[in-house]
């Protein structure tokens, strides 16, 4: 049975039920089939999405802009320099004003609190395009991709190797909600947020999954259907590059690491951009395990599902 999601914010996967997440995934699947078949679908006819970018982007900007256009709507790009936010206007006032002009806002910024403040003030749906804490749009596309490859989500194991960052956090929430097993392997000093980890474990306990946080790569990837990694230094952490490279060097996903899954059909995922020779070897991202460009494509279809369902 379809769930009505109109007017809902999309701030974190934690905010949605399993049924609601499946509705996003199945809608994304339908959107993809319609596009491949050349069928027009215009549920956003006459609607405008505002896109606030305080962080640069390739996939987020292009996928949301194309998604809005393909659904019959219009996407308005707003950089930090285009808005009065850069001159001291409050996030709350910005949300109230833009609600009078737009039908939805996607924001890609630093602080999760800014996204939540915007959602509190705005009377239109707010979509979290990425914060330093969470990246729910990416993980929705990731869940769609895993479902495409395996025909199921429940009971699968996903291992994330690298920094305990926004990707690790949203993957924990997504896996926990869908009854998957999620293992996070990080250097001890770069582990995921403790509050997020505790919340994900509570969700997993109810859904039949589990969350493991470890510094042991072999333990994390053993039995994994999916091995996932991300860059060692995210945007805004460039000054920490040398220290991070030293800490993360033992956490590179190589062919040998993929072999430790002991599963012939395991896949490799990366949210991109990727740095070959750092967080993974070229042989992994360009090899038989890799589905990273299927992932990247699915950002478009997942974004279309979000926009169609909440706007």
User: What amino acid positions are annotated as catalytic residues?
Assistant: 108, 135, 138, 230, 271, 299
The length of the chain in residues reads 311
Distance CA 207, CA 50 (A): 35
Neighbour count for residue 19 (Cβ, 10 Å): 10
Residue 67, classified by CB atoms within 10 Å of its CB into exposed (0-12), middle (13-18) or buried (19+), is buried
- Please confirm whether the linkage preceding 273 is cis (ω < 30° from 0): yes
Distance CA 16, CA 263 (A): 31
17, 139 contact by CB (below 8 A): no
Closest to 270 (Cα-Cα) out of 279, 257, 259: 279
H-only helix segments in the chain: 18-36, 59-70, 91-98, 112-121, 136-150, 166-177, 194-207, 217-221, 241-248, 255-259, 282-285, 292-310
80, 53 contact by CB (below 8 A): yes
Distance CA 225, CA 272 (A): 20
């Amino acid at each position: 049975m379809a769930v009505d999601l109109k007017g809902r914010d999309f701030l974190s996967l934690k905010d949605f039920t399993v049924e609601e997440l499946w509705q996003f995934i199945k809608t994304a699947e339908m959107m993809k089939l319609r596009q491949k078949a050349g069928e027009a679908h215009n549920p956003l006819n006459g609607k405008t999405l505002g896109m606030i970018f305080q962080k640069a982007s390739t996939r987020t900007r292009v996928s949301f802009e194309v998604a809005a256009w393909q659904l019959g709507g219009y996407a308005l790009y707003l950089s930090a320099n285009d808005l009065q936010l850069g001159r001291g206007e409050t996030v709350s006032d910005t949300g109230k004003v833009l609600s009078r002009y737009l039908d939805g806002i996607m924001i890609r910024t630093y602080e999760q609190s800014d996204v939540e403040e915007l959602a509190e003030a705005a009377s239109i749906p707010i979509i979290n395009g990425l914060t330093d804490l969470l990246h729910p749009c990416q993980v929705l596309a990731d869940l769609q991709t895993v479902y495409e490859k395996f025909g199921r989500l429940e009971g699968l194991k996903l291992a994330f190797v690298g920094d305990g960052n926004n990707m690790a956090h949203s993957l924990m929430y997504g896996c926990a909600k869908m009854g998957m097993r999620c293992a996070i392997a990080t250097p001890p000093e770069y582990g995921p947020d403790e509050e997020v980890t505790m919340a994900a474990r509570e969700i997993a306990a109810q859904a039949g999954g589990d969350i493991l946080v470890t510094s042991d790569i072999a333990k994390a990837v053993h039995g994994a259907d999916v091995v996932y990694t991300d860059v060692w230094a995210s945007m805004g952490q460039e000054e920490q590059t040398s220290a991070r490279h030293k800490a993360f060097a033992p956490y590179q996903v190589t062919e040998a690491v993929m072999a430790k899954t002991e599963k012939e059909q395991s896949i490799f995922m990366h949210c991109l951009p990727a740095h070959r020779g750092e967080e993974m070897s070229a042989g992994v991202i360009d090899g038989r395990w890799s589905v990273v460009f299927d992932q990247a494509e699915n950002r478009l279809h997942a974004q279309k599902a979000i926009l169609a369902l909440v706007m």
